[in-house]
Structure 1
Amino acid sequence: MEPINQFIKNNKKIERNNERIYQELLQNPKIVELINDEETPLTASMIKNDLITLKHYADQPSECKENSDGQCENHPDGYIINIDIRNDRANMYYTPCPIKVRNDEFIKRENLIQSYHVPEDIKNATFDTIYLDDSSNRNVLLKKAIQVTDAVASDANYRGLYIHGEFGIGKSYILGCIANELKEKAVSSLIVYVPEILRDLKAGFRDGTTDEKYNLIKNAHVLILDDLGAEDVTPWARDEVITGILHHRMVQKLPTFISSNFSIDDLEYRYARTKENGIEETKARRMTERIRALCEEVQMTGDNYRNG
């Protein structure tokens, strides 16, 4: 058992330390501001009752400071201590610091773009990085893409874009720009490279993932189909997958953007012919009618930059 003299000595030491902290707090600008608050002023008894809470509050740095890793150096956990005067007590609560808010917003925005089998340069494309030259009508496409993107973000009346043209002229890049512009406007999108996703859906029959992937694509807030028509044409791909997705999105009025090497008429001709069933013009037209309902057809021209 601690001797009574030692107990008294330690108690007096604690009291002196508490008094020192109390006097320091009375001089702290943050505490002075709380004391002078007209609605809920901090009193001497509150300070003494919640001494440690108020010391934590007073000792934290006032400003955020970003370190080399992009995190807040002054608030390592990303949160700022705040004080709420309630029921004659100083209650502590936390709010994220500005740097954490910024970083969380960045992560949130990055997650607004999902993709299946899309190259990084397409996912990172922006309208500011489009190369414009006299051999291309990219400037026309750029203006139209910006207008439609603004309309999507504001829920105005619009149709998406069906962009077709020769191989390698930047159709996919325009789609990436649209996705990133939507991201900046806090609108989520899903970019899908059509030939690969069809392989994924077919492979999903083995592990039971087909329905999950199909529903994710079908219900995406904004769906971007890249390189439609580059896949092997089969009745299943045409009727069960692509037409099914397009029909759902047409009925639900969901924004849809498409790129292809084929005009819509040429795409219809291509999809009307399969090895399994021969010529099926009606089924192909059923698919392309939904494309026309969802998208405005625009042709893109220019040099093949992949061979440049």
Structure 2
Amino acid sequence: MNSIGKTIRSMPGGKFEERFQEITKEVLKNPRVQSFLSSKPEITSEQLNRGINELFQYQTQWNNCDKCPGLDACPNIMKGYQPFLSLYRNDLHLEYQMCPLLRKDNTRKRQASLIQSLYIPKEMTTATFDDVHEDNTRAKAISKAMEFTVHVNPGESGQGLFVYGPFGVGKTFLMGAIANELAERNIQTMIVYAPDFFRELKNGIQDGSYQQKLEVVKRSPVLILDDIGAETMSNWIRDDILGALLQYRMMEKLPTLYTSNFDLDELEHHLSYTQRGGVEKMDQLKAKRIMERIRYLNEVIEMKGVNKRA
């Protein structure tokens, strides 16, 4: 912290007292300092003399804020903090409060801590509704997504959304916006790219890690299964993973959201057709049981539009 004395001594030449008086006059002419002093008419000349260094710091720090170079390059004594004057025990006192940039950065970090993702591009998890391009083909999906964020109540209601449509229309981006909006409400969300997640669980069978990984996902207050239907289906994925996952979440009333290139009938057919080849009656029944849960607990929304990735 640079005091007036240190500042003067760092200046070339002598005449300490003269320079001190010049800086004092400059400080007292500062509009912010004048505004504070006018609000405290009880301040005496003696208090003012004792507190001139606090007034100098107040001016200096606010000059930095007026020319703000950004949070990372903040030159203030306490990075990201702005000074405020008060009268404490008959003396001028400086306090520091977070600046808007630091508050925004802290909010962003807090939100990021509430959004977990597996195999999802970072730009998708940082999306907001302001970033989602709304047109006639997406209006309903956006409206329903925003409505969901208002009414969601994990543990009390397991109602979710099933958003389907062609590749590249913004389904995953919309889910990222939902996750960030929920983070504003301190609701934790996990976004999982389903094909890679199922593949990871399969690889975890050998080292016994798959159960632990599955537990983390299935207990998330809000779960988003992105691109379900794009995985290679097997009895194990359908029955032991997806079936068990959805059963638990249904019983605990934890909302699950889905994106898919398939509509519900197409997804049911996909779940029926395993690597064994063909579609057997038992596979159809198991697929139907899973789809009944999805149909019962999720509002189905078709999302159309131009492929944004083309």
* TM-score scaled by length of structure 1: 0.69
The verdict on how the C-alpha distance between 1:264 and 1:127 changes in structure 2, with shifts beyond 3 A counting, is: farther
The residue that corresponds to 2:227 in the other structure is 227
Is the Cα contact below 8 Å between 2:149 and 2:178 reproduced in 1? no
Residue 289 (structure 2) aligned to one of 279, 286, 290: 286
- Measured in 2, the distance between the counterparts of 1:180 and 1:96 equals 27
Structure 1 unaligned regions, length at least 5? 1-12, 133-138
**Pair 1:152 & 2:163 matched:** no
Is the Cα contact below 8 Å between 1:201 and 1:214 reproduced in 2? yes
Identity of aligned residues (%): 29
The verdict on how the C-alpha distance between 1:266 and 1:66 changes in structure 2, with shifts beyond 3 A counting, is: same
- Measured in 2, the distance between the counterparts of 1:208 and 1:20 equals 74
Q: Summarize deviations over 1:203-254 as a string: whole Å, max 9, x none.
A: 3456665455434432444422122122233343223322233233334444
Q: Residue 39 of structure 2 aligns to a residue in which SS?
A: coil
- Measured in 2, the distance between the counterparts of 1:65 and 1:222 equals 42
The residue that corresponds to 1:94 in the other structure is 96
- Measured in 2, the distance between the counterparts of 1:212 and 1:92 equals 51
**Pair 1:198 & 2:198 matched:** yes
Is the Cα contact below 8 Å between 2:82 and 2:96 reproduced in 1? yes
Is the Cα contact below 8 Å between 2:160 and 2:256 reproduced in 1? yes
Q: Summarize deviations over 1:103-144 as a string: whole Å, max 9, x none.
A: 444555566654322346755597866597xxxxxx34x122
Deviation at 1:285, TM superposition (A): 3.1
The residue that corresponds to 1:179 in the other structure is 176
Residue 116 (structure 1) aligned to one of 113, 118, 124: 118
- Measured in 2, the distance between the counterparts of 1:239 and 1:147 equals 33
- Measured in 2, the distance between the counterparts of 1:27 and 1:183 equals 46
- Measured in 1, the distance between the counterparts of 2:93 and 2:306 equals 66
Deviation at 1:289, TM superposition (A): 2.0
The residue that corresponds to 1:5 in the other structure is none
Is the Cα contact below 8 Å between 2:191 and 2:226 reproduced in 1? yes
CA RMSD, 1 decimal: 4.1
Alignment map for 1:47-196 (pairs within 5 Å)? 47-62=48-63, 63-67=65-69, 71=72, 75=76, 77-108=79-110, 113-119=115-121, 122=124, 139-140=136-137, 142-155=138-151, 159-165=159-165, 168-170=166-168, 173-180=170-177, 183=180, 186=184, 189-196=189-196
Moved more, 199-208 or 283-292: 199-208
- Measured in 2, the distance between the counterparts of 1:65 and 1:280 equals 67
Deviation at 1:264, TM superposition (A): 2.7
The verdict on how the C-alpha distance between 1:72 and 1:84 changes in structure 2, with shifts beyond 3 A counting, is: farther
- Measured in 2, the distance between the counterparts of 1:29 and 1:104 equals 30
The residue that corresponds to 2:260 in the other structure is 260
Alignment map for 1:244-255 (pairs within 5 Å)? 244-255=244-255
Is the Cα contact below 8 Å between 1:190 and 1:217 reproduced in 2? yes
Moved more, 75-84 or 106-115: 106-115
- Measured in 2, the distance between the counterparts of 1:292 and 1:127 equals 29
Is the Cα contact below 8 Å between 2:71 and 2:80 reproduced in 1? no
Q: Summarize deviations over 1:78-100 as a string: whole Å, max 9, x none.
A: 21122232232333221122333
- Measured in 2, the distance between the counterparts of 1:84 and 1:20 equals 24
* TM-score scaled by length of structure 2: 0.69
Structure 2 unaligned regions, length at least 5? 1-14
The residue that corresponds to 2:7 in the other structure is none
The residue that corresponds to 1:242 in the other structure is 242
Q: Summarize deviations over 1:45-69 as a string: whole Å, max 9, x none.
A: 43344443332113223543343x6
- Measured in 2, the distance between the counterparts of 1:41 and 1:243 equals 73
Is the Cα contact below 8 Å between 1:271 and 1:284 reproduced in 2? yes
